[in-house]
Structure 1
């Protein structure tokens, strides 16, 4: 075949017809013309004619193919484009190529590619005078006026964004930006153009993530300063170094006036706080983190942001220090911790601190009682708690099962499932003002007669009135059931109205009562019960977990026997993300206040910086304890419980980054030992900090009788579980001197009933630019989705190592895309790097369980533990979850299996981000490869609130 087709496809910059929409095309000389889909159809038809000959002109087959491909191209270009967009000619031609390749028309696509290359050479060879003169560009300001486009400032801003970033250059950003300029471009589009240009380069050099963030900062500064001044104002980063202090008082005044900031904040010593701001820390953001803050966290009036990053951190710090004696000093201390990314508060705290409605708590746990009034009060409580960003865990075990007698009507109960449907729909209706979807998890004990219907709640088949497609679900599993599974014995299901004592019993007491109820059932004294084979129910639990991602597996006895608060109640469930284990009852709604230490910021190649970590934990615990008193409680049961017990949950994030810094592979004994060592230090410092607070402020009300008061620390409580479960296999070694701390806990007391819990941190880890929670790396190069859009993510540590070995090039980028971010199949990568940078699905999940077990021995609550399986099977699942039980885990979270269709193989240019409408599918050179199983839950699925 010749190098160019006999009949050339028409270029999209030929004259076009007007569309009904406002989509437009940027010509190569910068001129703007209306976008006409008909021209795409013409180009495609001529491409087919060039390959198949003139006989294809009247072919119905070709006509239908072209019509379908045109629809695909237009859909790709206009995705998320309600108000109209501008497309560069090259972007349209890229989409035509992709559509041809995806459709399997490889010869036609090849001809089209060759033609484009030939035309590019011809244009390059044309003398300057032969080309159409580029118009002198203008831009359209906010008032609709045409003003000269200031290219000099554009170059200044790009230069500033790239400064001091290794591997980053201005020119590639400017070239791509200029390509997308057109006469009359709006100021908003002009602000976005360099951001989009820089983001296309992240996959080849991770530091462009910082450049992209700095360009977004320029847009944010213009938006915020113009709002405060009432006129268009622009400022570079250098200018803001001097201007932040003047901006801050005006920001506070505007926020109070808009009723978005608590007026009490204006009564702080504002000049002192303004002088403490660190403008240079704005440069520490990566793009994903700053875009997330911009979209979801920064205060705005009708969509116009007026809160800059350092003001945001100071607002949160002031909100947490508002009741301190020297509140300015404490606010500065809190601000330093947040703005340095050493520690980050949970999302509700970041949303609401310093506002008129400071609902700062993360998680709420409730027990639903067995009467209609209680059930609908629980649904109402869910709505009120979710309104201000709370995540919910509901214990539904007391509600009687299907077929149980209803004395008031002399009828039969429909069971728990119809009420779960109501709770599901309530979570969707109350979406926290559009910030994030309401989120709830329902828990049910394994002996409940409705357990089999409960397992089916997330199925996509069956009666939709008995399905909860948006609610998370979890099994609350007693040890006796696991023992019956191991012994292949029978299991009896009951309705709780006939066996109400089982709900509050654990360990040996549960065993005795349960076996007594089985004897009663045999004697005909119980009306509603059903016998099943324990292992059959267990297999069905695991099957549903694999097929639907739910219900999660959590262990009742481990949560209760190791709970410090067993003297005042029972843990009946965990929370939305399975890391909280607090008592609930009809009169108490458990509340937990969360935040996470950035472990990566406290680790170097030499190990953990103990002194730095100690300082961070002390300040973080003070911040979390303050939440209890400052918090805006939407229901009285939550307030009473929180003030009485004062639980908090200090967790960690950046564990995978810390391993990279230490050159430890996740799948190694050394990594398991580091999980143990790091969590022991965090536990020690956290307990020490709570004792310090008790010495200063007093112990929590229900301290007497707790395990703490008996000198039983989390490491010691393992013995209680071991006594009830002899088969427990849990390491109990320690490195630190715990005896002195035990004595101090007994003597002084604790400020907080519970201190530690490891949350998922998906969003706050994005803000800090570190790996999520305790997760292994998902992939080394991929497109990440969350509620702010789609973003290129590349493992910067890996890129540094590959550069050092001369292996980072275009071929490596292409290979990483083809192999879904995995180094394993790439022959030229050394084995040590393959081990160090193994991705989540390459790490045997037993390593995750072993590391989690070592952490769990130090934690008084639990941890959100996702489990990844590349080749799940019934046997593998059975072995994994039995291992989790034997190793003493309190809870597990999502089971993640590899997706049926792999990650998009496109060049990530032009595919990432909320601002870009184009998201191509597969790259032509990378045919999809089969994988073993569907994915239970997408990683950071923007529709899955538990991942946020």
Structure 2
């Protein structure tokens, strides 16, 4: 009997709270098996290898030997058992499993500290039960000095108030459990909600329901800060409107808002607020405006999303002399409906003490030391207030040119560009986003060859500009010489001073004259080389570094409405703005974009809704010119004389999805043509009607508008200038005589009306696809200044759900194939065509659609081109096609990014085949992720450019 009692005694385990329970070896075995399954990514039920099972059995037997040892006088503790497991795993060289087991053990020690519980030998996935006799050690600080115990039930009750939490796709228990694991003493209610947001957003890839829940939770943080209550509190809707006047007063006192806003009838304005429109934001949109757009005082947001839209609208209505409240409400209705969004600088600064609302500035630097450094200083002040910069450097004399004043030799352009690069880094757009500048140069400049090397990572770092973009401003003559196998000559601008201001036939005649002068020995500095050699080097650098961008001088000038007042010397930071620049004028672009997908009603593009959107949007953009804060007199002078604006679009890919049109199709090209025609028609007509009411812009007389030439007409001028056909259909679907008659009678309010910018951030805010871009990937990781976010194409998920195809296996397949659908066997062919991603679409389709749009646009478009497997031959053919198609500019050449979707949870063997982009890799058996041939986008906000918007 005594021996039996002793055996019973030594078969006991002492838990952490002092209780003693009977030892059960199955619980230990289950816990170790869970660790192995987690490390090997094996589902429950999948067999473990025989040697693993043997090792687990050995470890459990070792524990039994210790517990049942006859000489043992006291029970074994839980901690001692876990020590034996860890040592046993390490001895058998299961190091990764041991590490996972240790991390699990540490994590659950934290949870016990939070809950005051004893988990004993529960398996890895078992919820821990609270102990009634131990107080939680973590407390939540409701307000300074007021603390309450951390209570996960309270969190669960709060989460249950969100309608989205009750959706069948949402696992609230898992969300709460993750918040518990991350809890810490002294948390505030906002900290708890942020933890809920982080836990929820990490699950967005699984289902859009998590996106909606994360957005709801993020709104509660905003409301608690700005209103003092959440959307779940009684009287929330009334407080939303009642608090608006207090928000204006508080913002003015804190010098966040302009005192001019107090002149509005704030009761009338507040009554027009629509709090329910906050629900239109998806998570990434609401998080983005929280991080970077909503005004704050010492970190506390004083704006709600609808206050934000109304503040922008009121700021833009300050230019209205009559019915100011009605106009502000009209602008607010358009913005808050997400049919149109102003560009980022307007959203940042409208209604503030410094209403710098313009997006980009273009300057031409003169060949004068004082002007060079004046422009460097101008770059700094322009960048400070959120402007992107485009600098034309072609004027500057080349390396080795004579300096008359000192009788020395010039060091050329490159050292000055290094200074510009460093200045852009130093001035980071007021602390809101990185500063950025693009340098333009024509390829006849003697320093152009070295200009091509500016972005290289090798060579003399004093002659490199790693943070500055570069672009080639290429005349038609170079492309024709290239095509014909001709020779190209490089000069120093001080010896050929008029080439910079010439284009078309005039440039050709003068360039050939200078070539003859060089051959006769009457030009000191020159260099002749095959045009193909220079082009090859340009494409090689483009392949290696993503720069320079390829832009075309002649179509940009020949088709410019303002050819009577100057020359377009460059584009801007994102290659869509094409305005004249000079020593006296810094061109300014004022941007906004239409959400095209919001105008697809009942399966068609609704022209009546589009007309109303465009008409109001053009009025808002025109108001920017009068309200704008101009950092330099040259910028103010140019904008006052010409009043250019750039109305663009976004959500093009979404619109195609709504219409069920694949982007790689003639139907998509036709839609690009017809939709751009409608936008152009309504925008030009709206500008003419504004001229009727407000007067023509100052430099109107002599412009192409004045001469009766619309953008569609200028294609013929480009053909004449080149002396060759541009094979673009000129068919129209609208009655353009109405527009022509209006211009003839009233003139134009704006010298330029249309430009398609990248829209990376504003499309994120409103939850549509960027600009005219194809979908990058259906599942990808997006990085910007707000953090990293896994994004899934909601439209694809809804499509797959409708066909009963969305499940964990499909998500796993999307990860394996890096966000592309082409190689997923389960998917129907029509789904694969409709949801083809950027690298699955031949660039010819993108160029064809862009060419159709370009005939309606008086400026340009930020056109990214994609190649999954770039080659010199393919890149060459692509850019020659872009030139032949009459495009004015191109933007990034993008290849597959170096960072793919995280695959740590993917069983690669399950799918059997590799994504197509991987199949051309080496035969070593190792999958090599492609390096970035070009950056996914510009440096302002990786991986998506928001230089303009």
Structure 2 length normalisation: TM-score? 0.85
Q: How do residues 449-598 of structure 1 correspond to structure 2 at under 5 angstroms?
A: 449-598=446-595
Greater CA deviation, 798-807 or 860-869? Answer: 798-807
Q: How far 1:938 sits from its partner (Å)? A: 2.5
* Structure 2 equivalent of residue 271 of structure 1: 267
1:161 CA drift (Å) = 3.0
Question: Cα distance 1:860–1:41, how it changes in 2: closer, same or farther (>3 A)?
Answer: farther
- The aligned residue for residue 617 of structure 2 is 620
Q: 1:156 to 1:748 in 2, by over 3 A?
A: farther
Partners of 2:126 and 2:632 in 1: how far apart? 70
**Which stretch has the larger CA shift, 390-399 or 205-214?**
205-214
What is the CA–CA distance in structure 1 between the aligned matches of 2:604 and 2:756, rounded to whole Å?
A: 21
**1:252 equivalent in alignment to 2:248:** yes
Q: Is the 8 A contact 1:565 1:706 kept in 2?
A: yes
Measure how far apart 1:222 and its partner are: 1.4
Aligned-residue offset at 1:691: 0.8
Alpha-carbon deviation of 1:301?
A: 1.5
Matches of 1:288 and 1:591 in 2, distance apart? 30
Shift, 1:346, TM fit:
0.2
Aligned-partner SS, 2:594: strand
Cross-structure match for 1:819: 817
Q: Any idea what SS the aligned residue of 1:652 has?
A: strand
- The 8 Å contact of residues 364 and 393 in structure 2, kept in 1 or not, is answered as yes
Alignment of 1:213-612 (within 5 A): 213-226=215-228, 233-234=229-230, 236=232, 239-324=235-320, 325-612=322-609
Residue among 722, 747, 750 paired with 1:749: 747
Unaligned runs of 5+ in 2: 1-50, 64-78, 112-118, 907-924
Tell me the distance in 1 between the aligned counterparts of 2:62 and 2:823: 41
Aligned partner of residue 442 in structure 1, secondary structure: strand
**Per the alignment, do residues 8 and 349 of structure 1 end up closer, same or farther by CA in structure 2, a change over 3 Å counting?**
farther
Give the whole-Å Cα distance in 2 for the aligned partners of 1:870 and 1:755. 34
| CA spacing shift, 1:650–1:119, aligned 2, 3 Å | farther
Question: What SS does the corresponding residue of 2:768 show, helix, strand or coil?
Answer: coil
1:215: Cα distance to partner?
0.2
What secondary structure, in the 3-state scheme, does the structure 2 residue paired with 1:905 have?
A: coil
CA distance in 2, matches of 1:582, 1:259: 35
Contact (CA 8 Å) 1:604, 1:662: kept in 2 or not? Answer: no
* Aligned positions of 1:144-223 closer than 5 A: 144-149=145-150, 154-155=155-156, 157-163=158-164, 168-169=169-170, 171-172=172-173, 174-177=175-178, 179-180=180-181, 182=183, 184-187=185-188, 188-223=190-225
Cα distance in 2 for residues equivalent to 1:728 and 1:87: 69
2:732 to 731, 734, 738: 734
What's the CA shift string for 1:818-869, capped at 9, x where partnerless? Answer: 1101111111111110110011111111111111101111000000011110
Contact kept, 8 Å, 1:785 with 1:940, in 2: the verdict is no
User: Which whole-Å deviations, capped at 9, do the CAs of 1:849-898 have from their partners, x for residues lacking one?
Assistant: 11110111100000001111001000000000000000011000011011
**Does the C-alpha gap of structure 1 residues 240 and 510 become closer, same or farther in structure 2, counting only changes over 3 Å?**
same
Which of 850, 867, 871 is the aligned partner of 1:869? Answer: 867
On the 8 A contact 2:863/2:891 being kept in 1, the answer is yes
Q: What residue is the counterpart of 2:21 in the other structure?
A: none
- Over residues 250-295 of structure 1, what are the superposed CA-to-partner deviations in whole Å (9 max), with x where a residue is unaligned? 1111110011100010121001111111110111111111111011
Instruction: State the partner residue of 2:761.
Output: 763
How many aligned residue pairs are there?
849
Q: Partner residue of 2:789?
A: 791
Matched-pair contact (CA < 8 Å) for 2:650–2:769: yes
**Which deviates the most, 320-329 or 567-576?**
320-329
SS in 2 for 1:852: helix
Q: Offset at 1:198? A: 1.7
Write the distance in 2 (CA, Å) between the matches of 1:865 and 1:723: 25
In structure 2, relative to structure 1, the CA distance for the partners of 1:181 and 1:512 (3 Å cut) is: closer
SS of match in other structure, 1:569: coil
Aligned to 1:50: 92
Partner of 1:889: helix, strand, or coil?
A: coil
* 1:696 alignment counterpart: 693
Is 2:718 the counterpart of 1:717? no
Query: In structure 2, do the counterparts of structure 1 residues 9 and 326 end up closer, same or farther at CA, with 3 Å as the change threshold?
Result: farther
Is the CA contact (8 Å cut-off) linking 1:871 and 1:933 kept in structure 2?
Answer: no
Alpha-carbon distance between aligned partners in 1 of 2:361 and 2:82, rounded to the nearest angstrom: 54
- Determine if the alignment matches structure 1 residue 658 to structure 2 residue 675: no
Look up the match of 1:885: 883
Q: CA deviation at 1:565?
A: 0.2
Contact 1:848/1:867 (CA < 8 Å) preserved in 2? yes
DSSP-derived class of the 1:414 partner = coil
Please list the CA deviations of residues 165-209 of structure 1 after superposition, one character each: whole Å capped at 9, or x if unmatched: 965547356544554364735013212122122212211111321
What value does the CA root-mean-square deviation take over the aligned residues? Answer: 3.0
In the alignment, the residues of structure 2 paired with residue 829 and residue 496 of structure 1 have an alpha-carbon distance, to the nearest angstrom, of 59
Alpha-carbon distance change, 647 to 160 in structure 1, aligned in 2, over 3 angstroms:
farther
Runs of 5+ unmatched residues, structure 1? 12-32, 34-38, 53-61, 78-85, 93-116, 227-232, 909-926
Find the counterpart in structure 2 of residue 638 from structure 1.
635
- Radius of gyration: which is bigger? 2
2: CA distance, partners of 1:933 / 1:613: 42
Structure 2 residue aligned with 1:849:
847
Distance 1:531 1:47, change over 3 A: farther
Structure 1 residues 46, 192: CA separation in 2 closer, same or farther (over 3 Å shift)? farther
Cα distance, 1:49 vs structure 2:
1.8
Equivalent residue number for residue 807 of structure 2: 809
Closer, same or farther in 2 for the Cα pair 1:420/1:646, shift >3 Å? same
Matched position secondary structure for 2:897? coil
TM-score (norm 1): 0.85
Deviations 1:348-390 (A, max 9, x none): 0000000011000011100000010010001011011111000
CA shift for structure 1 position 210: 1.9
Separation in structure 1 between the aligned mates of residue 224 and residue 849 of structure 2, nearest angstrom: 47
Find the counterpart in structure 1 of residue 903 from structure 2. 905
Once the two structures are superposed, residues 477-504 of structure 1 have per-residue CA deviations (whole angstroms, 9 ceiling, x without a partner) of: 0000000000111000001011010000
1:633 alignment partner, SS class: coil
Is the contact between residue 577 and residue 589 of structure 2 (CA under 8 Å) also seen in structure 1? yes
3-state SS, counterpart of residue 646 of structure 2: strand
CA gap of 1:2–1:534, structure 2 versus 1, over 3 A, is: closer
Match of 2:834 in 1: 836
After superposition, the Cα gap between the structure-2 partners of 1:542 and 1:119, relative to the gap in structure 1 and judged at 3 Å, is: farther
- Give the whole-Å Cα distance in 2 for the aligned partners of 1:578 and 1:241: 44
In 2: Cα distance, 1:9 partner to 1:327 partner: 83
In the alignment, the residues of structure 2 paired with residue 396 and residue 251 of structure 1 have an alpha-carbon distance, to the nearest angstrom, of 46
Kindly provide the CA deviation profile for residues 407-440 of structure 1, in whole angstroms up to 9, marking residues without a partner as x.
0010111000000011111111111222011111
The offset of 1:40, in angstroms, is 13
Q: Post-superposition shift, 1:154?
A: 3.7
Distance 1:591 1:191 in 2: 42
Change (3 A) 1:442 1:720: same
CA separation in 1, counterparts of 2:333 and 2:829?
41
CA distance in 1, matches of 2:262, 2:398: 54
Cα–Cα, structure 1 residues 43 and 306, in superposed 2: closer, same or farther, change >3 Å?
Answer: farther
